[in-house]
A and B are shown apart, each in its own frame.
Chain A
Amino acid sequence: MGTEILGLGDVRRGDVAVAGGKGANLGELVGKGFPVPPGFVVPARACEEFFQAIHLDRHLKGLDDISSDERDQRCSAIREIIDKADPPLELAESIMAAYGELVKNRDAEILCAVRSSATAEDLGEASFAGQHETYYYVEKDQFLTMIKHCWASLWSPEAVSYRCTQGIDHASVFMAVVVQEMILSDVSGVTFTANPVTGSRNEIVTESSWGMGAAIVDGRVTPDHYVMEREGFKLREKRIAEKRFMVPARLDEGAKTRLLEVPHWMRHKETLSTDQARTVAEWAVKAEEHFGSPQDIEWAIADGHFCMLQSRPITVMGHEDIAQGVEGQYVIFKPLVENFTDPLTPLTGDMFSLVFAPPLMRLIRGWMYMSLKHLRAMLPFKAPDEDLASLIYGMEAHAPEMKVSLLKLPFCLIGLFLGYLMFGVLFARTRRIPGDFMDRFRDLARRVDDDPAYGPLEALVRLASWARLFDPVGNQVLLVNFSAIRYAIRLQFLQKLMRRWAPDLRGDAEALLCSGTEGVLSAEMGRGIWALAKEAKKQPAVRELLEKHKPDKVLAELKAEPGAKEFLDQLDRFLAKNGHRALKELELQAVRWEENPAPVLGMVRNYLLVESDPSKHEKKMNQTRLDLEKEIKQKLEEYPLERLFRPRWRLIRYAASRTKFFARMRENSRFYHIMAFYILRKKVLRLEEQLMRQGRLKCKGDVFFLHWPELVQMRAGDLGWLDVEGRIRDRRMEHIRLSKMAPPKTIGVRLPARAEQPSEAHGAALTGQSASPGEYEGMAHVILDPSTDIELLPGEVLVAPYTDPAWTPLFLTAGAAVVEVGSYLSHAGTVAREFGMPCVVDVPNCTARIHSGVQLKVDGDHGLVQILDREGGEGT
């Protein structure tokens, strides 16, 4: 085979050197009778001849030995040469002839997909998937340009960089190109012949949505989810999602974005009938049988006909893959991961990296880790790696005792002194400042928001990063958050005092003594939601609407209801104060309440449904605290002079008040730096809008999957949509894959057995970390997203992947809580202690292992969760 164009049906799996991997795979499917869209292959030899004709080899000299900046420039120049050169006339004619064959006997022209298909000849294991481009919706007159783009993608910085790393001769790589009819699908999806999450070979999982498949694989829509048994293709599970967006088969003239809103009537409609789901599963199993390993197939249904677009082996990324290629020892940064378990998007990750100075903190596959090596240098402890990792990871209520290293002590003291010099002023400025000192940050945030001179980076620097010399301390919220670290020291001091003078008190005595702090903004936010519920109760029409409609629909209904004016006014006031908050609020991609108040309305609805009064909890808590104080005083009376001057009680009270002071500072500073993140999000969205207007970005939300240097280059016009489209797609897919796993707690170091917590200690018992004491037995209710699943019946055990303030209303009705991540100081633990309910955190995969409806026994004292055999039953 030379440069002649090949029909897909003429290619077989052995033709990788000619047709590239993708071409050979598709040809094999066509040859075996799979319903694959027709197409042809421009062979790799054509690419080779084209490169020879333009004397590309002259530009390749020394490409391995230059800096990455220079290499990028050279790559850009090479791509430009390829794009500007004309391919041989003979080739152009052959391509047009092949296209003519494709459209023979058709009424009209067709749109095609032009896909890079890398050859692996002479390169052993190496290939270039993920680095090369694919173009969709290509019309006949764009073929040559797009084919040249595919060839040029051999000279993308990623591909060149990879070849340099692997020592592959640049002159030896060529590219075949597959041109295939675009299937204008009504429904499309992905099917896995083994469950990619659980690994079960008995299940076939299909995800489908309206329109083209890009929206699913890119993670832009939540698809319908079907699980079938392999034996007999019996439907085991069906979850119909609300499909808000789709990539339509045809783009309207002048359409700015490919992602369109799905008409309302179609949003909740199932995309596949049972028969169709069965057909899809059957084809997937046939592909698996043919290829001999579990497959992940992409498919489409157009005009009732099934088409297979791609079949590839399932690659299930394991836990260890997250740490692949990472050298050193790292422990996950728990304060971040305990608020939400998903990895950060690339842009959010970059922003974090800018604020948190590497190398102490490092972002690994979207999760923030702390370097053990650098922390070890800062801590004066003599301890094995495992214990140190446990100490850093644990953040338990009672940290293990560690021996001080005398050798390191002088260096640590010097370090401490330098730290004091560096942060002493900040610490002194915040020592006794009134609680409302950060309120002015709101004005600063508004000014930065309104000022177009502040781009995202400038906004980040101004609001969340480095302070100015003459900034009031209230404007330095992130530094204030850092200075509130004294909370932990004061708490430890309090614990020591209590253990010394009153050792027999209840397990959560210190936490209880420090509860009931006034002026905590997130607690006030909870009260604000409760006040909204009270207002809704006053208006029967409002209450009815809130109970009748789903939270994302009810706002429009409320606006049309004349009696809802007061409620809406109150909602506006609430959002003016708390609108920057959101679920997963540390993620820039997270939609804020101000942008979509549905989660707030959902929480109000939850309050209405359960008829609970949070003030009762507060009163109960206050009473318990007063009783505890009385008990402590009584216990102290046995010590000398205590009856007379109460010196020990005064000291304990002082330590508790300082702990409360810094705890409030910590919580409130978080409230404000979330506000800074919202301003940053707004700046990024404005930039995205601008890039979309210029055609450099096509879909909303894609901007979060760019890295900051790419965004800078896009803004400068050095990168365009074609440069980033593939990267964004890859990153979205990887993000979805990573979101389905729990990040490893440590990398390069193992936690000791006590902290590793094998999640099945005995029988059906899961072990975690105790965050709030007490025992409780009740029915489990697994909630993955409080914005969509908010109805927790009184007494049910809340089982959640993580919690943040948006979850608080659910704690009101829960009998106990079991959370996948977290620590003693995490939100779940704090709220559970406030409400006096047992809580076990850090229970790996509990949302997958526990099913709603099973009976659970939660032992908050020992961090144990037991799955009882029987289902149903009432909470005790």
Chain B
Amino acid sequence: MTVIIWIALFLFGMALAVQLVASLYGPLDYSYTIKTAYPKVMLRILVWGGLSAALALLLGGRYRAAFLWGLGAYVVSYLLSYQATKLMLKRNLRLLDREWRAGRSCRAIISTRRETDISQDSLGSADRRF
């Protein structure tokens, strides 16, 4: 049972981290209208930050660790995902290059179907002079 609770709290920590990170982006996302939007932005940070902090304080011992591990794991994975996107782009470029090289030979095959000058098989069937 404890393990299940531990896992549940870990996942909950992750899910809460999603909202917390999103709320921390508030000042950036609303910067163009921050003069009017700041109460909303602050409130969001306070709600999600406060909820995370309160839970971390209220949960005892091992459960607190599970929750905080979840929270931390998400933040780390979120940061890593930005590195992953760079790798993804490199991979896509590599794939594109590979496909292009493969495509060149593929095109060559197709071009034989289009070959025209030498495939006049029926030459002379109506051998007519002008």
Contact = CB atoms under 8 A, between A and B. Distances in A.
Asked whether A and B interact, the reply is: yes
Interface of A: 13, 16, 20-22, 24-25, 28, 32-34, 68, 117-118, 120, 125-131, 157-159, 161-162, 164-165, 286, 289-293, 296, 310, 312-313, 315, 321, 324-325, 350, 353-354, 357-358, 417, 420-422, 424-425, 428-429, 433-434, 437, 439-440, 461, 465-474, 707-710, 730
A165 B117 contact: no
Contacts of B119: 21, 127, 313
Contacts of A118: 118
B119 to A, nearest CB: 7
A321 B101 CA distance: 20
A118 B119 CA distance: 12
B122 interface: yes
Contact of A324 (B105, B110, B126): B110
Interface of B: 11, 14-15, 18-19, 21-23, 25, 28-33, 37, 74, 77-79, 81-82, 85-86, 88-89, 92-93, 95-97, 99-101, 103-120, 122-130
Contacts of B97: 709
B129 A130 contact: no
A710 B115 CA distance: 24
Which secondary structure characterizes the binding site on chain B?
A: helix
A191 B65 CA distance: 79
A292 B126 contact: yes
A286 B96 contact: no
B122 A292 contact: yes
12 contacts: A24-B118, A32-B127, A117-B117, A130-B115, A162-B105, A165-B108, A313-B120, A315-B116, A358-B95, A424-B18, A466-B85, A469-B79
Contacts of A131: 108, 111
A434 B41 CA distance: 12
Given A466-B85, A474-B29, A289 B117 contact: no
B120 to A, nearest CB: 5
Nearest to B91: A357
Nearest to B127: A290
A321 B106 CA distance: 13
B31 A358 contact: no
A129 B95 contact: no
A219 to B, nearest CB: 16
A174 B115 CA distance: 17
A21 B115 contact: yes
B10 to A, nearest CB: 12
Contacts of B78: 425
A159 B123 contact: no
Given A289-B128, A469-B79, A709 B108 contact: no
A353 B105 contact: no
B12 to A, nearest CB: 12
Contacts of A290: 123-124, 126-128
B92 A354 contact: yes
Nearest to A21: B118
Contact of B96 (A128, A158, A353): A353
Contacts of A16: 118
Contacts, number: 186
B86 A466 contact: yes
Contact of A286 (B18, B28, B128): B128
A32 B120 CA distance: 15
Contact of A428 (B22, B79, B88): B22
A439 B105 contact: no
Contacts of B86: 466
Contact of A32 (B29, B77, B130): B130
Please list the 10 inter-chain residue pairs (A to B) with the smallest Cβ-Cβ separation, ordered nearest first: A21-B118, A312-B116, A130-B111, A292-B125, A162-B108, A428-B22, A292-B122, A424-B18, A161-B105, A129-B115
B76 to A, nearest CB: 11
Given A289-B126, A422-B81, A129 B116 contact: yes
A33 B92 CA distance: 55
Nearest to A71: B101
B105 A164 contact: yes
A291 B120 contact: yes
B128 A165 contact: no
A472 to B, nearest CB: 5
B128 A120 contact: no
Contacts of A28: 120, 123
A650 B114 CA distance: 63
Contacts of A357: 88, 92
Given A425-B78, A434-B37, 7 more contacts: A32-B127, A127-B118, A354-B92, A425-B21, A470-B28, A471-B28, A730-B107
A161 B103 CA distance: 10
A125 B115 CA distance: 10
Contact of A34 (B25, B79, B101, B130): B130
A474 B117 contact: no
B92 A315 contact: no
A818 to B, nearest CB: 34
Given A354-B96, A469-B82, A425 B29 contact: no
Contacts of B103: 707
B81 A32 contact: no
A325 B37 CA distance: 56
Contacts of A473: 25, 28-29
Contact of B114 (A161, A315, A420, A425): A315
Contacts of B37: 434
B112 A129 contact: yes
A710 B110 CA distance: 20
Contacts of B125: 291-292
A77 B26 CA distance: 58
Contacts of B88: 357, 466
A429 B122 contact: no
B118 to A, nearest CB: 3
A310 B110 CA distance: 20
Contact of A25 (B33, B118, B124): B118
A25 B101 CA distance: 32
A471 B29 CA distance: 8
Chain A CB within 10 Å, residue with most, of B78, B92, B117: B117
A117 B120 CA distance: 15
A437 B114 contact: no
A130 B100 contact: no
A125 B112 contact: yes
Contacts of B85: 466-467
Nearest to B123: A13
A422 B81 CA distance: 8
Contact of A33 (B31, B33, B114, B129): B129
A130 B21 contact: no
B89 A420 contact: no
Nearest to B105: A161
A128 B18 contact: no
Contacts of A161: 101, 104-105, 108
Nearest to B93: A354
A32 B128 CA distance: 7
Contacts of B74: 421
Given A162-B109, A293-B122, A24 B117 contact: yes
A125 to B, nearest CB: 7
B130 A33 contact: yes
Given A324-B110, A421-B14, A425-B22, A22 B89 contact: no
Nearest to A422: B81
Given A28-B123, A128-B108, A437 B29 contact: yes
Contacts of B28: 470-473
A16 B117 CA distance: 10
B26 to A, nearest CB: 8
A129 B111 contact: yes
A127 B25 contact: no
A157 B104 contact: yes
Nearest to B82: A469
B117 A22 contact: yes
A536 B29 CA distance: 40
Nearest to B115: A129
Given A421-B14, A429-B25, A708 B106 contact: no
A66 B87 CA distance: 27
